[in-house]
């Protein structure tokens, strides 16, 4: 969490801004502040956690900066898409930043996160850099997947981020597999398998949930309910839109996904639960400002009033801003300066990414198979010389 | 719930973090050498005659294995599995009824008692999800072996096999490897019905990133199982329902066979017959008749369905100049179709005649015994095809 901002600060070349950032963090204390979440948690077959969340001024500033960075990145990706530098599918996360940032605050890098295609910000949260993100979006070789994955295939092995998946719902069984491996290795860590309200109707979800519950796997299924499965509203797709209750025998918790602190509390609670008792479902009530992807205007199935209403009343960044100002952690100007800094960072990363070259044509054939097998043999490409592993 | 869950995390961490993997066993590889010591083997696979053709030249592998032990094919698979599980604590098995029941074809019998319920995992009937789980587990470093009770059931897991198993290594830019093995019995059995007689090799062959192998003898079954588990790539191991009770003497010492090599079953000079899995036995039966008629067919069990061992195949074609492909999958879009294209592209100059491909009929496998027999290629058809080719 704080690492994202620290690394971002290191990238920042302008000295006054660096001092500003440093000052902001240095003077922010870690002494606890207790904040009440604006909405209570709704629980299914479990006692909900308390509404009082412990945080600190440093954490709140980090939340603000990280979310501003993510927001800026997504808006920049929007412009890049319109400029045809990003092609294909581009699913943007703006509006949902609190889910990602709150989750990161509650866990560590040994815990795994796996999600679907709306993965840019989660990638950042797990330690990915802006350069890797933009380069991948533009298909350059400095991208996190060497330009061969694209928007829907961001991965960060060292950060415990397992992607980045294009087929709706297919990542949830994978997530349960990650949890299985964690249980197998007795890691004491958990997996957050994220999916959307649209994916919640996939059969494989229930299959995976059944197995996770059967074997007490430390899997936490997080439904990011932004109320629309592409163009279909949740009430038109699901008989029971109470996704946190869908686990039936698996406990669930409904969380205000626009409140980073509520998300943090819920994830912390879920992690403790999963390590002891097996799976739990978290439903994050959130909202996306953009359409489903850049090919979708997002206004044919919802009104502009609805979108601007949510932006005015529930925007996650505004909430943290109000909290920060209310607790006198920083001034209005300092926050605006942070936003300007963040904007500059993003612009620099884009400029750097634009200079990154396209992948070499030979990269077409690399990483199809792993060269060098565990046995004395030919490689999968028969023309390759026999390999013997040490 | 059984006693032992998983393995000690220390053991797994040690294996995970060690830069160099565990020591390799002495490898007895099948280097395009005649392999069949068929004289020792008795087959219970229906009407197929035993003692098809004696090997032409000395068979070192067979000589070495005179001191070995006799196993049935499913036992050979189990030996391979067990040895790998013993050697590497990251190897685990996922499948329906693989644990307490011991596997519907007894391939994993006794393993759950030995290794516990988490390493030999009885899954609910949810192919899509447990294949997905295996891929997820493989992403973190475990080495799951997924069993489809019948290969046909794995059609439900096609998305996971194609997109996640096959493509994750590529789309993550090499960050993740997926060392899974997906195995199970397929092929046309004895009146099992259309849905339980499927040959999935034709559907899977296009998936980039996976390797496919088909075993046909206890010797190569054990060797391929071990090689597949050790491979860092996802491997689909096709077994055949009717071959599980084949008996053969296999070496006592540890061995692994190469995943990409074809097996020279019977060297010859008049025609190259390429086959795999159960059709190998139909071919060998036909070969007996052909030998009596004066022909000298060269029979190659291609074993590696993806990628093809064009090295062995090419050398054979250079010698014989005629190719007959005998396969069990359906004609349209089958392995034979791809193999024909590959041979035409690479060895066109060496061919004296067009490639003949004998495949199963493009029909759902009927239940009636007489109809089912006609669906697959029978030895008389092979004999006729060779006679016509060599005219």
ipTM: 0.80
What gap in Å lies between CA A143 and CA A86, rounded to an integer? 13
What gap in Å lies between CA B241 and CA B218, rounded to an integer? 13
What gap in Å lies between CA B369 and CA B383, rounded to an integer? 22
Closest residue to B123, CB basis, from A145, A146, A211: A211
Half-sphere exposure of B340 (CA within 13 A, CB side): 18
Residue A38: band (very low, low, confident or very high) from pLDDT cuts 50, 70, 90 = confident
- In this predicted model, what pLDDT tens digit does every residue of B173-215 receive, in sequence order? 999 999 999 999 999 999 998 999 999 999 999 998 999 999 9
- In this predicted model, what pLDDT tens digit does every residue of B133-162 receive, in sequence order? 999 999 999 999 999 999 999 999 999 999
Q: What is the DSSP string of B320-346?
A: H--EEEEEEEESTT-HHHHHHHHHHHH
Query: In chain B, positions 294-313, which contact chain A (CB-CB < 8 Å)?
Result: 307-311
In the prediction, which pLDDT does A127 show?
95
In the prediction, which pLDDT does B61 show?
52
Question: Above 80 in pLDDT, residue B241?
Answer: yes
For residues B125 and B61, which has the higher predicted lDDT (pLDDT)? B125
B58's CB contacts (< 8 A; 6+ apart) are: none
Question: How many pairs of residues across A and B have Cβ atoms under 8 Å apart?
Answer: 214
Q: Are strands A42-44 and B247-250 parallel, antiparallel or unpaired?
A: unpaired
Residue A78: band (very low, low, confident or very high) from pLDDT cuts 50, 70, 90 = very high
Whether residue B307 and residue A177 make contact (CB cut-off 8 A), yes or no, is no
Question: Above 50 in pLDDT, residue B169?
Answer: yes
Walk across the sheet containing B235-240 and list its strands: B120-122, B91-95, B143-147, B181-186, B235-240, B211-214, B304-306
Question: Above 90 in pLDDT, residue B44?
Answer: no
Query: CB burial class (10 A; 0-12, 13-18, 19+) of residue B285?
Result: buried
Mean pLDDT of B163-171: 93
In the prediction, which pLDDT does B144 show?
97
What gap in Å lies between CA A205 and CA A171, rounded to an integer? 9
- In this predicted model, what pLDDT tens digit does every residue of A219-229 receive, in sequence order? 999 999 999 99
What gap in Å lies between CA A316 and CA B189, rounded to an integer? 61
- In this predicted model, what pLDDT tens digit does every residue of A133-156 receive, in sequence order? 999 999 999 999 999 999 999 999
Proportion of chain B above pLDDT 70, given as a percent: 83
| CA-CA-CA-CA dihedral for A172, A175, A176, A181, to nearest 10 | 160
Beta-bridge partner residues of A196:
A224
**Residues making up chain B, counted from first to last:** 391
Residue A70: band (very low, low, confident or very high) from pLDDT cuts 50, 70, 90 = very high
- In this predicted model, what pLDDT tens digit does every residue of B266-301 receive, in sequence order? 999 999 999 999 999 999 999 999 999 999 999 999
Active-site residue identified among B79, B127, B201, B239: B127
What gap in Å lies between CA B67 and CA B69, rounded to an integer? 7
Query: In chain B, positions 10-69, which contact chain A (CB-CB < 8 Å)?
Result: 12-13, 16, 20-21, 24, 27, 29
Proportion of chain A above pLDDT 70, given as a percent: 88
Mean pLDDT of A241-253: 94
Question: Above 80 in pLDDT, residue B31?
Answer: no
State the angle between helix axes of A97-106 and A260-277 in degrees (0 to 180), rounded to the nearest 10: 50
Closest residue to B136, CB basis, from A148, A156, A175: A175
A322's CB contacts (< 8 A; 6+ apart) are: none
Question: Above 90 in pLDDT, residue B64?
Answer: no
**pLDDT, chain A, mean:** 89
What gap in Å lies between CA B356 and CA B283, rounded to an integer? 14
Question: Above 80 in pLDDT, residue A250?
Answer: yes
B328 near B279, Cβ under 8 Å? yes
DSSP reduced 3-state for B72: strand
Question: Above 60 in pLDDT, residue A159?
Answer: yes
Shortest alpha-carbon distance between residue B207 and chain A (Å): 11
Mean pLDDT of A371-379: 50
Whether residue B173 and residue A148 make contact (CB cut-off 8 A), yes or no, is yes
Residue B20: band (very low, low, confident or very high) from pLDDT cuts 50, 70, 90 = very low
Residue A99: closest CA among A110, A113, A109: A113
Residue B302: closest CA among B250, B224, B362, B194: B224
Tell me the chain A residues in contact with residue B182 when contact means C-beta distances shorter than 8 Å: none
Question: Above 50 in pLDDT, residue B33?
Answer: no
What gap in Å lies between CA A321 and CA A328, rounded to an integer? 10
Residue A298: band (very low, low, confident or very high) from pLDDT cuts 50, 70, 90 = confident
Tell me the chain B residues in contact with residue A208 when contact means C-beta distances shorter than 8 Å: 126, 129, 132-133
| Residue B231 at interface with chain A, using a CB cutoff of 8 Å | yes
Shortest alpha-carbon distance between residue B109 and chain A (Å): 21
In the prediction, which pLDDT does B279 show?
96
Q: What is the pTM of this model?
A: 0.82
B252's CB contacts (< 8 A; 6+ apart) are: B67, B68, B69
Active-site residue identified among B75, B169, B196, B298: B196
Tell me the chain B residues in contact with residue A177 when contact means C-beta distances shorter than 8 Å: 132-139
Phi/psi of residue A92, each to 5°? -100, 150
For Cα atoms A11, A12, A15, give the angle at the middle one, nearest 5 degrees: 140
In the prediction, which pLDDT does B57 show?
37
- In this predicted model, what pLDDT tens digit does every residue of A309-353 receive, in sequence order? 999 999 999 999 999 999 999 999 999 999 999 999 999 999 999
Phi/psi of residue A277, each to 5°? -115, 0
Which chain B residue is nearest to residue A175, measuring alpha carbons? B136
Question: Above 70 in pLDDT, residue A200?
Answer: yes
Question: Above 90 in pLDDT, residue A303?
Answer: yes
Proportion of chain A above pLDDT 90, given as a percent: 79
Q: Which domains does chain A have, with CATH numbers?
A: 2-355 (3.40.50.970), 360-390 (no CATH)
A320-339 b/e (C-beta count within 10 Å ≥ 16 → b)? bbebbeeeebbeeebbebbb
In the prediction, which pLDDT does B28 show?
41
Q: How far is CA B283 from the centre of its chain?
A: 17
B127 is catalytic: yes
Q: Which two tokens stand for residue B100?
A: 């307490």
Torsional sign, CA A95, A100, A105, A106: positive
């Amino acid at each position: 969490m704080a690492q994202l901002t620290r690394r971002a600060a290191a990238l920042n070349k302008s000295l006054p801004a660096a001092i500003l950032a440093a000052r902001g963090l240095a003077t922010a204390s870690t002494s606890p502040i207790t904040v009440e979440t604006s909405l209570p948690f709704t629980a299914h077959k479990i006692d909900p956690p308390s509404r009082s969340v412990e945080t600190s001024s440093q954490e709140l500033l980090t939340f603000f900066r990280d979310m501003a960075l993510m927001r800026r990145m997504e808006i920049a990706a929007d412009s890049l898409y319109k400029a045809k530098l990003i092609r294909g599918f581009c699913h943007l996360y703006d509006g949902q930043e609190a889910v990602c940032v709150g989750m990161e605050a509650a866990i560590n890098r040994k815990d795994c996160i796996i999600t679907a295609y709306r993965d840019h910000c989660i990638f950042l949260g797990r330690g990915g850099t802006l350069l890797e993100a933009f380069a991948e979006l533009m298909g350059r070789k400095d991208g996190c997947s060497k330009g061969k994955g694209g928007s829907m295939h961001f991965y960060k092995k060292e950060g415990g981020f397992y992607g980045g998946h294009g087929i709706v719902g297919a990542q949830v069984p994978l997530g349960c597999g990650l949890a299985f491996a964690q249980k197998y290795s007795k890691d004491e860590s958990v997996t957050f398998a994220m999916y959307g309200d649209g994916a919640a109707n996939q059969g494989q979800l229930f299959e995976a949930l059944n197995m996770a519950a059967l074997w007490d796997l430390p899997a936490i299924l997080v439904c990011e309910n932004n109320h629309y499965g592409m163009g279909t509203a949740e009430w038109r797709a699901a008989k029971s839109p109470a996704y946190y209750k869908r686990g039936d025998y698996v406990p669930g918790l409904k969380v205000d996904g626009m409140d980073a602190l509520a998300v943090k509390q819920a994830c912390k609670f879920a992690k403790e639960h999963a390590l002891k008792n097996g799976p739990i479902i978290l439903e994050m009530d959130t909202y996306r400002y953009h359409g489903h992807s850049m090919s979708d205007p997002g206004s044919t199935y919802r009104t502009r009033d609805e979108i601007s209403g949510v932006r005015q009343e529930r925007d996650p960044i505004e909430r943290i801003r109000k909290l920060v100002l209310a607790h006198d952690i920083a001034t209005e100007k300092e926050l605006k300066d942070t936003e300007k800094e963040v904007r500059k960072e993003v612009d620099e990363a884009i400029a750097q990414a634009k200079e990154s070259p396209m992948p070499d044509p030979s990269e077409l054939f690399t990483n199809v198979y792993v060269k060098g097998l565990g046995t004395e043999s030919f490689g999968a490409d028969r023309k390759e010389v026999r390999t013997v592993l040490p | 719930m059984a006693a032992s869950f998983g393995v000690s995390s220390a053991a797994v961490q040690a294996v995970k973090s060690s830069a160099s993997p565990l020591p390799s066993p002495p490898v007895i590889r099948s280097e395009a050498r005649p392999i069949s010591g068929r004289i020792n083997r008795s087959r219970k696979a229906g009407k197929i005659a035993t003692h098809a053709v004696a090997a032409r030249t000395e068979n070192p592998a067979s000589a070495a294995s005179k001191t070995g032990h006799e196993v049935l094919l499913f036992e050979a698979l189990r030996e391979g599995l067990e040895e790998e599980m013993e050697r590497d604590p990251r190897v685990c098995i996922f499948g329906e009824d693989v644990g307490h029941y011991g596997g519907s074809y007894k391939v994993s019998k006794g393993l759950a008692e030995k290794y516990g319920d988490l390493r030999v995992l009885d899954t609910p009937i949810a192919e899509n999800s447990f294949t997905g789980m295996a891929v997820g587990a493989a992403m973190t470093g475990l080495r799951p072996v997924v069993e489809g009770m019948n290969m046909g059931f794995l059609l439900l897991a096609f998305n996971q096999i194609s997109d996640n198993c096959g493509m994750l290594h590529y789309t993550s830019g090499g960050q993740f490897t997926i060392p899974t093995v997906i195995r199970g019995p397929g092929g046309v059995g004895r009146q099992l019905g259309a849905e339980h007689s499927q040959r999935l090799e034709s559907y899977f062959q296009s998936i980039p990133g996976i390797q496919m192998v088909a075993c046909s003898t206890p010797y190569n079954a054990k060797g391929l199982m071990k090689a597949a588990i050790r491979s860092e790539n996802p491997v689909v191991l096709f077994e055949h329902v009717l071959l599980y009770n084949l008996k053969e003497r296999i070496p006592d010492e540890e061995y692994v066979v190469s995943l990409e090599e074809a097996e020279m079953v019977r060297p010859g000079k008049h025609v190259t017959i390429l086959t795999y899995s159960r059709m190998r036995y139909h071919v060998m039966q036909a070969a007996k008749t052909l030998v009596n008629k004066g022909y000298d067919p060269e029979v190659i069990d291609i074993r590696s369905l993806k990628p093809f061992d064009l090295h062995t195949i090419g050398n054979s074609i250079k010698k014989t100049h005629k190719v007959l492909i005998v396969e069990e999958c359906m004609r349209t879009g089958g392995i034979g179709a791809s193999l024909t294209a590959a041979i035409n592209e690479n060895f066109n100059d060496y061919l004296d005649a067009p490639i003949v491909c004998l495949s199963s009929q493009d029909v759902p496998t009927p239940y009636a015994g007489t109809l089912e027999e006609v669906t697959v290629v029978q030895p008389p058809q092979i004999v006729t095809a060779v006679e016509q080719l060599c005219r």
